[in-house]
Each structure stands twice: as structure tokens, then as C-alpha cells.
A and B are shown apart, each in its own frame.
Chain A
């Protein structure tokens, strides 16, 4: 399945902050979004999720505009992991992950056998089964992030969008999360799109890369980015340079 955007202008209250001629995201692909602070990474994710109206252009899933989806139908196509959200401290990890099944349950939210199996699978994939009965606010940042990814996985959508999933994590837990994202993309055939400031890691693990630079949004394969000169201009050159030999951004 494809998540596509054509002539997409994104922004708030009628003011465009960036424009993408064409984006094409596929299931089974891991896509990173990079760009400096304020470039519009979160705005792009929110627009793709359908939480923010595009200024112009159209977003579609499998050739059907997301405007034509009901909220409940869209919830079966895309799930998200937000970077800033106040989760109630009065919910257990298991309750939160089960909430992911909401688009599929009846009005009373009763989980069927299938629902329970999918929840259990998500819990195992993210290795949070030992946390099941813990309250969310008692978890470490790394555990919280794994729980929220498990919830998104339980929602069982072709696409998962994550806004800066590793921001508060130390290097070890960053690599744990990145590893999981890569694994889920391959094993569960998900289209995962995430924004991050960890450019070097993004270059290592992603298939596709979306770069937001000076109000323009470009999508190319990582290979394509590495071969051209495009990455060199991403940051002002006074402090950071791109070292082609090691495929790494370095401090000058």
C-alpha cells in the first residue's frame, strides 16, 4: 500500500511553511524525516496523519484521498506515536496498549480473541510483557517509548508515524528503539515514517529519506542522497560538515 502526497503545502492557519512536490511512502519501507528545528517535521507528520489540514495539495492512501476516509477508517490505516502528550498516570501499560484496538472493537470496547492475540503479539515484539501491570508514569523514558510503539503496533495499521521517537533517550535506548523500528518494518511489513535529529543513524538504517530544507520537502532513497551533494548544504557550513568517506556529519 502507498501513502502519497501531491503538491503538498503544509503549515498552520493558512500560512505555508513548507512544500512537497511529491511524497511516496510504501509499506515495508523505513523512512526518516530530517530538517533543522522549526523546519516543519512535526507539521508534516501531523498533516500526513490527517490531524492538520494541508494548505494545498492532496494526501492519499491506496489512491483514495484521506479526506474521503472517516476518522474511524483512517484509524485502521495510520497509527501514531507523539513526542509530546500527557498520558494519564492512572492507566496501566496493558490498558494503554489495548486502547490501540479501539478502531476494531464495538461501542463497549470489548476485545475479541483476535484483538487479544494482536495485543499480546505487540507486547512481545516490544518486549514489555514484564511491564504489563505497571502504571505508565512509573516507567523510564525508554520504557514509555516502547509502550507507545507497542500501542501503535496493536492498532495494526499499514503505516505508523512517529514524531521524534528517540528524543529523550540515551544512546543505548536510542539504538534499541531504532532497531525495533527497523525490525517491525521488515517483519510486519509496515510503512514506518519518523522524524529525528539523529541524522547519522537515520542514514544508516532508513530506506528512504525526507529532507526539509528551506521550506522545500524532498524525498529520495538514502542511497540517492549519499551519492549527490544535496546533504552538504543541509546545515550552514560554519560548524558542521558532511564527511563523504564515512557517511557521517561531523563537527568542524
Chain B
């Protein structure tokens, strides 16, 4: 599987609107002289960051999804259950659509990339704070799930109202953002994402054993010495930071967080987090690279919305796996 991942990584980089041979790609990546200088530019400036961000986004979303499924003991949970991507959407919608109403100075600012990232981060972060606040008051895990979903519906309602009153141009900008894309990340963004991802993985490692205890339910986990309050808190913080920052940089990306953990469970027939962690990191990167490659429509100058591709690819795979195994392992 690791071999498959490497192969996919190079394939992803070599394919795009301009096809660059696999050998040439490897030559450039290993630092030897490139045959074509413009190829080197394309690869180092655009394709390599995009491929790396695909891997990081795949890993980050998979971790968030797995954490939420374990926390809520619900196979339908994913990063979205906390309402984070809805929060990001609201932030961006307010910025893009709201700025049009507020005059030209702000409108120019709103076009810049960092304004969008900032708005998205603020959006998901405030939702995260809201979820934490409810966590403080409510100890029932199911209640948190429902509150998260309600926040999600509430924010999307505001977005719909906003889009109804907004100009076609601004609406289009918002829609583009909501389609998700990895093309927006430069090396600096990658650095930030990498740091956050590493932090997430470290906390996940710290939680590993406790997550397995959670598979018996919170009551059992507590009786086995797990500080369930602290564990639950960390699970939500990690999910919030990973899913929030990814949505901020790349826009909402559906399906990955929900389904990669299922793929891993079905393929390895296990719910054991010691097996699942490496599995979701591998599968998450692999699937995300695959989706990104397809979204590029190699050989053409068109680009498909990534958000749609992830669902196109992923949903059938999961259905097929379940039909094959006749059962959802959870």
C-alpha cells in the first residue's frame, strides 16, 4: 500500500493540464537537472505543493472523521457533525457576500486569499468555541452531536439567506470557494498545515489506547481508568483544529472524513485504533491524491470541483465494500 501511495504521488504530480513524464518528474523531485526548465517551475511551484497538500488534507480529515466516529459511536459521524465546515462557510459567505454591501475598499480586501482564509478560520473557530461551551454544560455525548448538527443547519440557513440577497458575482466567488480546491495552498500554508497535522497526530497517539476503551462505550472507558472528560475534550479540539484549518485553506471537502475510516475498517476488518491510525493515514492520502488527479482532468485545461470528485469517487467505493462484505463493520 505504501508503494501504491508513492506511485500515486508521482502520478499526481506528473499529470495535469501539461503532461510531464514520470521519469522527468522523478528527476526534478530528486534534484537532478531537468530536461525542460518550465517543467521544473510547474512542478516545484504548483504540482508538488498541491500533491503534498492532498496528502495532508487526506490525513487530517481522516483523523477528524475517525475521532468523531469513535466519540459519538456513530458510523455516520464525520468532521461536519461539529458544524465546523458550516462555520467556515458562514465566515466566507459573510466576507464575500457581505463586503459587497459595505463598499469598495472592503470589497478589494475581500478578494485577497488571506481574507478568505481568515474568515473561514474565524467561522470554524467560533463554532468550535460554541461546541466547547455546550460541552461544558452538557455531559451527554448524544446531546453534543445533535447540537453540532443544529449549529450546522443554522449557519447554512444564514448562508442561504445571504446568497438570496447577494449579487451574482459575489455569489459566484462564494460558490467557487465552496467547491474546494488544493490549488490555493502555497509553501507557507503547507508549513502551517503540517505543524497542525503533526500536533493532531501527536495528540492522537497520546489518546490511542483510550480511544480503544471508548469502543466499549464511555461507561466502560471510565471504569478502565480513562479520564473521559479530558479525552472527549482533546478529541474535539483536535478535530476542530484539523477540520477547521483544512476547510479554511482548501474549502469544504466532502466525504473524506466520513468514509476513509470506514474503508480502513472494512479493509482491515478491525476497529482497533492501533491498526486504524496507520491505515487511515495511508488510505486517506491515497484517496485524496486520486481525487485530486481526477479533478485535474489530465490533458485538459478544465478542473473539476474537488468537493464533487471526492464524493463521486468515494461513495461508490464504500457502497461496493459494504455490499461485498455484506455488513458494516463498526
Asked if A91 and B215 sit within 8 Å, CB to CB, the answer is: yes
Asked if A82 and B215 sit within 8 Å, CB to CB, the answer is: no
Asked if A89 and B330 sit within 8 Å, CB to CB, the answer is: yes
Tell me the minimal C-beta distance from A100 to chain B in angstroms. Answer: 7
Q: With A and B bound together, what is the CA distance between A109 and B271 in angstroms? A: 15
| Stretch with Cβ within 8 A of A (4 or more), from B22-30, B56-64, B185-193, B206-214 | B206-214
Asked if A91 and B222 sit within 8 Å, CB to CB, the answer is: no
With A80-B220, A88-B271, A90-B270 known to touch, is A71 a contact of B226 (CB < 8 Å)?
A: yes
Determine the chain A residues whose CB is within 8 A of the CB of B213 once the complex forms: 99, 102
Determine the chain A residues whose CB is within 8 A of the CB of B206 once the complex forms: 107
Closest B residue, CB atoms, query A75: B225
Asked if A99 and B212 sit within 8 Å, CB to CB, the answer is: yes
With A71-B227, A102-B224, A103-B224 known to touch, is A108 a contact of B215 (CB < 8 Å)?
A: no
Determine the chain A residues whose CB is within 8 A of the CB of B215 once the complex forms: 87-88, 90-91, 99
A31 CB-CB contact with B under 8 Å: no
Determine the chain B residues whose CB is within 8 A of the CB of A89 once the complex forms: 271, 329-330
Asked if B217 and A85 sit within 8 Å, CB to CB, the answer is: yes
B317 CB-CB contact with A under 8 Å: no
A76 CB-CB contact with B under 8 Å: yes
Q: With A and B bound together, what is the CA distance between A103 and B213 in angstroms? A: 11
- Tell me which residues from 126 to 171 in chain B have a Cβ below 8 Å from any Cβ of chain A: none
Interchain Cβ contacts within 8 Å, total number: 84
A74 CB-CB contact with B under 8 Å: yes
Asked if B208 and A109 sit within 8 Å, CB to CB, the answer is: yes
Determine the chain B residues whose CB is within 8 A of the CB of A78 once the complex forms: 223
Determine the chain B residues whose CB is within 8 A of the CB of A86 once the complex forms: 73, 217
Tell me the minimal C-beta distance from A47 to chain B in angstroms. Answer: 13
Asked if B329 and A82 sit within 8 Å, CB to CB, the answer is: no
A96 CB-CB contact with B under 8 Å: yes
B219 CB-CB contact with A under 8 Å: yes
Determine the chain A residues whose CB is within 8 A of the CB of B217 once the complex forms: 82, 85-87
Q: With A and B bound together, what is the CA distance between A75 and B274 in angstroms? A: 22
Q: With A and B bound together, what is the CA distance between A107 and B273 in angstroms? A: 13
A155 CB-CB contact with B under 8 Å: yes
Tell me the minimal C-beta distance from A42 to chain B in angstroms. Answer: 11
Asked if A155 and B224 sit within 8 Å, CB to CB, the answer is: yes
Closest A residue, CB atoms, query B329: A90
Asked if B224 and A109 sit within 8 Å, CB to CB, the answer is: no
Asked if A71 and B222 sit within 8 Å, CB to CB, the answer is: yes
A contact residues vs B (CB 8 Å cutoff): 49, 51, 71-76, 78-80, 82, 85-92, 95-96, 99-100, 102-103, 105, 107-109, 135, 155
